[in-house]
Structure 1
Amino acid sequence: MYVPKHFEQSDPQVLQNLIRSSPLASLVTLGAQGLNANPIPLYFEANGGLGLLQGHVARANPIWRDFDTQLEALVIFHGNDAYISPNWYPSKTEHGKEVPTWNYSVLNVYGHLRVQDDPLWLREFLEKLTQQQELGLAKPWQMSDAPDDYLQTMLKAIVGIELEITRWEGKWKLSQNKPSREYQGVIEGLNQTQNAKAIDLATVMKNLRTAH
């Protein structure tokens, strides 16, 4: 991924927060038929190194049997994104030398993939992922809410996967290359769109500039 220095994001906490807030990622592997991409919700697990990404796939999905163990797999997480209009830059009214762009945050995670076909591992992982996603709901669902025999049947239908992270690559393209008044103009423009995703992105931009 092309990452200009001013868009580089390497803070582990920021990167991990994106995984937790947007856990549905694209897992890209190389198999017998070429490149294969699967959307999979993933859980970040600290391990003393760069960490692990844990997930599961249907047993019928060939991905867990068909990937090159000698190569790194790639996982892509996406944060909020939005179109940026030139009309939001104050300087546009002065000289017109502005063009549209797109703001976004994206995280590429590389690592070595392995299979976890153990019911105990699967159950522990699913409990962690469920607790993370149910957090904040009025009545959080727990695995114990379902009959045990039903859970056992469902567990037999899936296979765990785990990626041991070897490197991160974060790109937060959020107008950091713009002067303060242009940056603020983008935030104001996003807030006026009445688009929830764009407004969330404006909040991310505001917090980013505040942090620096």
Structure 2
Amino acid sequence: MYPPAHFQEHDIKQLHALVKQFPLATILVPDVRNSLNNLCHIPILFDETRNVFIAHVAKHNPLAQLNTKSVKLLFNGDNCYLSPSYSNNKTLPSWLYSSVQVIANVDIIKSNDEKDKIMRQLTSHFEQGFTPMWTIDDVPKEHRKAMYQQLAFIELTPTNWQGNFKLSQNKPLDVRAAIKHNLTLINKHTIAALL
């Protein structure tokens, strides 16, 4: 079994938290011309209340052609090299990471009202912390309509979540505590918090 059971993360709250903190998804899009996938990198917002991801892409993006199809979304959290010195020489050199894979069904949005609603939700979320905060209303209505014609608005409904958190879970608690302490010392707070 890969990944090993001790590196699999099943806590849906942990998976949602990683997606929220690291919203840039790598999306595997089937390519009929060869056996490999196309990749799209798209910031995506997960709306927990509706259990749906929302996004927009350029209308020529291959994802915009996959209405009703399934795609795989990959989200990567923080990662870092693990030196044996961080574990009092009780581990081999390794790499720590966290990732989430989601299989989701694609729904291309046609309604202009829904497109506007998605744009407003995305911008209000991603604009948090910016001063001044930009809003879609800063763009004149006619320009917005023209802009929306160049975009595909997408909802992706998850059908399967899978977490892979390789964080030395197979090591004794004292070794994990040493790793966490040393990661904190080098400002790897995000990954240390997961240990």
**TM-score bracket relative to the smaller structure:** 0.7 to 0.9
**Deviations along 1:85-124, whole A, 9 cap, x unmatched?**
011112x2xxxx6311111110000022222233222211
Contact 1:30 1:68 in 2 (8 A): no
Q: How many residues are matched?
A: 193
* Counterpart residue type for residue 57 of structure 2: V
Q: Secondary structure at the match of 2:30?
A: strand
Match of 2:83 in 1: 85
Gaps of 5+ in 1: 206-212
Shift of the alpha carbon at 1:32? 2.1
Shift of the alpha carbon at 1:175? 1.4
Match of 1:52 in 2: 52
Match of 1:208 in 2: none
Candidates 160, 165, 175, aligned match of 1:167: 160
Gaps of 5+ in 2: none
The separation in 1 between residues aligned to 2:8 and 2:163, in whole angstroms, is: 6
Q: In terms of mean alpha carbon deviation, does 75-84 or 119-128 score higher?
A: 119-128
Match of 2:19 in 1: 19
Q: Secondary structure at the match of 1:16?
A: helix
Contact 2:56 2:151 in 1 (8 A): yes
Candidates 34, 37, 40, aligned match of 2:39: 37
* Counterpart residue type for residue 22 of structure 1: F
The separation in 1 between residues aligned to 2:32 and 2:109, in whole angstroms, is: 21
Shift of the alpha carbon at 1:200? 2.2
Candidates 131, 136, 140, aligned match of 1:143: 136
The separation in 2 between residues aligned to 1:169 and 1:5, in whole angstroms, is: 12
TM-score, structure 2 normalization: 0.88
Contact 2:100 2:161 in 1 (8 A): yes
Contact 2:29 2:62 in 1 (8 A): no
RMSD: 2.2
The separation in 1 between residues aligned to 2:68 and 2:32, in whole angstroms, is: 12
Q: Secondary structure at the match of 1:40?
A: strand
Match of 1:187 in 2: 180
Task: Write the mapping of 1:55-66 to structure 2, written as runs, cut at 5 A.
Answer: 55-65=55-65
TM-score, structure 1 normalization: 0.81
Q: Secondary structure at the match of 2:81?
A: strand
Identity %: 28
Candidates 73, 77, 83, aligned match of 1:75: 73
1:126 pairs with 2:119: yes
The separation in 1 between residues aligned to 2:128 and 2:141, in whole angstroms, is: 22
The separation in 2 between residues aligned to 1:107 and 1:176, in whole angstroms, is: 17
Match of 2:191 in 1: 201
**Deviations along 1:24-48, whole A, 9 cap, x unmatched?**
1011121322411100111112466
* Distance verdict in 2 for CA 1:63–1:33, change over 3 Å: farther
